[in-house]
Amino acid sequence: MKRLLTLISVISACFLGIFLSFQFCEAETAFILNGYDTVYSVNACGDGKFYILSGSGNNFKVTSVDEYSNMHESVLDVETENTAYAYTNGKYWFFRNEYEQTEDDIIKSVSVAEYNCSEDRLSRKVINDAEAWINGTFAVDGSGRYYLKTDHSIEIYSENGKFLRSIGLDSRPCSFTASSDGSVIYCQTEGGLKIIRGDEVLSYNIFTDKIFDDGSGFFSTGDNVVYSFSGGGVTEIYRGFDRSQGNAVIGGCIFGVKSSSLTAIYNEKEIALNGVGGEVFLCAANDLCGCFMKNGSSLEVRFLRVGDVEAAAESEETEPGDSGEPASDVYLFNRNTKTITGIEPETTIAAMKRNIDSGGERLTFFDKNGNIKTSGAIGTGASILFGDDPENRFSLVIYGELSGEGNINTNDKKILADSLLGKQKLEGVYAMAGDVNGDSEVDLRDYVLLDRYLKVSIKSSRSDEFPFCRSKHIFFKITIV
């Protein structure tokens, strides 16, 4: 019975893979969108999705995307002109001043539109008898309270529009930013940074044009200095990134842009990940860093799994040129598991020799059966011996390539399906290669992605769209134009 249920699940995954592949292949319409001339912000939530707020004509548009390239687009009936926006806890708020001329007076109010991302629902309300400088910014905390700026104060309203209190300031407020969970409000004033936490207002001698929320307990300034904020106050933890639309902090890893490269700082190590260009938005969702690069009307999306970055930083990697130590700028050597990853399908022995610094040692290649191989494509299960010491023999892993042939085809899909059905067991480097999406598990999601890869690559040769075809197994790329 258990095997029957598993079979049904795999069959369901096949149909799902076919559906997704069809969407992806049909002139790439599933992942190519028009009208991204204006991107206002990119935000993330605990549901693992990233939300892109952009303009669609005279209205706002919200596009959600996750690491598996699932996308959803909603055009909101909210005018962009003279409207300010904010994001907290999976919701966007849009504020706009309204004036109504009567015979006796001008009635002032603030209209509020609230968009719930997970529910794809837009609701509206009005705060009567309120006037705020909406042409600037505002903020909403985790309890739904609105923070509106006036001349030298901050007015706080309940979610239902009831005036709660006013916070007097010694200088004019300029801009607001709420933390991702809404627990604190960052308010930049002419006299420095104010952090509002409940009824407490803390002051810091920090001056910037904008504050970015970088993740739980971290924020950065417009000049890209990264700070942590806790009960002990504000502490500077890193400076040196280029200017971008924020950074991302996940655990002990800081992501930012430096010298036109997406860069991670981990354990005081600086890891250059990939080149970037244009306007860059960074944000964090769970253990993923989302990198969104805007060039013209296109928005390129990359995802990085922080665990892979940490593993790369902690592995015993060597730099090219270390005497007697093999290394590579293209492939990742792991001396703990004695494996080499970051190998693309159909890589030949000649190509690997060009991209490996052997440290002066002789290279001997073996196929998956242990026979010496001197030319042609190399696959999962093959190995390289550096010199004569058996301790310097490394096995090769090509993600998604399970047959050892060197290229990804239907044989690999069948092997993966058989492993999910319990007909055969993937072990060692083959289990590593079966983890197609890099989440440390071999499951139906790997099968769906592999199935889609085969259809896409056959039709449009877009093999670079998949994480197992990229160095170090940490990128998933979508092109949105």
Query: What pLDDT does 248 receive?
Result: 87
Distance CA 244, CA 384 (A): 42
Distance CA 265, CA 274 (A): 14
Query: What pLDDT does 324 receive?
Result: 55
Query: What pLDDT does 106 receive?
Result: 55
pLDDT per residue as tens digits for the range 15-32: 333 332 222 222 222 244
Query: What pLDDT does 81 receive?
Result: 81
Query: What pLDDT does 120 receive?
Result: 92
Sequence-ordered list of residues with C-beta below 8 angstroms from that of 458, at least 6 positions apart, any chain: none
pTM score:
0.61
Query: What pLDDT does 139 receive?
Result: 85
The torsion angles phi and psi of 150, rounded to 5 degrees, stand at -120, -155
Query: What pLDDT does 318 receive?
Result: 42
Query: What pLDDT does 15 receive?
Result: 36
Neighbours of 25 (CB within 10 A): 18
Comparing CA positions, the residue from 181, 109, 114, 107 lying closest to residue 141 is: 181
Query: What pLDDT does 9 receive?
Result: 42
Query: What pLDDT does 376 receive?
Result: 87
Query: What pLDDT does 62 receive?
Result: 93
Query: What pLDDT does 141 receive?
Result: 86
Enter the tokens of residue 408: 């990804």
| Identity at 54, one-letter amino acid code | S
Neighbours of 320 (CB within 10 A): 14
Domains annotated on the chain, with CATH: 41-304 (2.130.10.10), 323-480 (1.10.1330.10)
Enter the tokens of residue 457: 């690559």
Question: Which residues of the chain register pLDDT less than 70?
Answer: 1-35, 99-108, 129-137, 311-325, 456-481
Cα 179 versus chain centre, distance: 18
pLDDT per residue as tens digits for the range 201-219: 888 888 887 788 877 788 8
